[in-house]
Amino acid sequence: MSSNAITRRRVLASGASATAALALSRFVAATEAGVSTRAKVLTFHDARFPRARALASELPGAMRLQAVDGDPSSLSTHIRPGAVGSSGVRLQGVTTESLPFCLEQLARHHYGARFESRRLDRDLFVWSLTIPGELS
């Protein structure tokens, strides 16, 4: 069999990649409208999945990527009272389901918080949490 032969595996891999790219592009387009130009943007990726880093680098405002595992406690420090600041904060990333689930629960304590999450594939979710600035 030649290396250019069409196999079921290649067709499925191409379909999965195209689906993830479409979902990510729709997510980026929807969230770019809600990003404050002054808000601090923090972008995370799950270091256990190499593909997560590449996808996270495509998110709006992703300057420096930070690796996380499935533990949301490192992210909770960014959204605790007093940590958001007057300009607001936006956490975003491509991780497994546990991280966006826990962040969504924590975000309920912030007035005006906006949370979005979308499944990319069997393991990964793209998500964003925008918390408006705190009043002084």
Eight-class DSSP state of 60 = T
pLDDT in tens, 83-119: 666 678 888 999 999 888 888 887 777 778 888 999 9
The residues spanned by each domain of the chain are 8-131
64, 65, 41, 61: which is closest to 53 by C-alpha?
65
In the chain, what's the furthest Cα-to-Cα distance? Answer: 68
pLDDT in tens, 39-67: 788 899 999 999 999 999 999 988 889 99
- CB–CB of 28/60 below 8 Å? yes
The neighbour count for residue 14, using CB atoms within 10 Å, is 11
Most confident of 3-7, 33-37, 88-92: 88-92
Query: CA 3, CA 27: separation in Å to the nearest integer?
Result: 35
3-state SS record for 5-51 = CCCHHHHHHHHHHHHHHHHHHHHHHHHHCCCCCCCEEEEEEECCCHH
- CA distance to 21, 29, 59, 100, per residue, from 129 (Å): 21, 15, 13, 9
pLDDT of residue 75: 74
Query: CA 20, CA 5: separation in Å to the nearest integer?
Result: 24
pLDDT of residue 123: 92
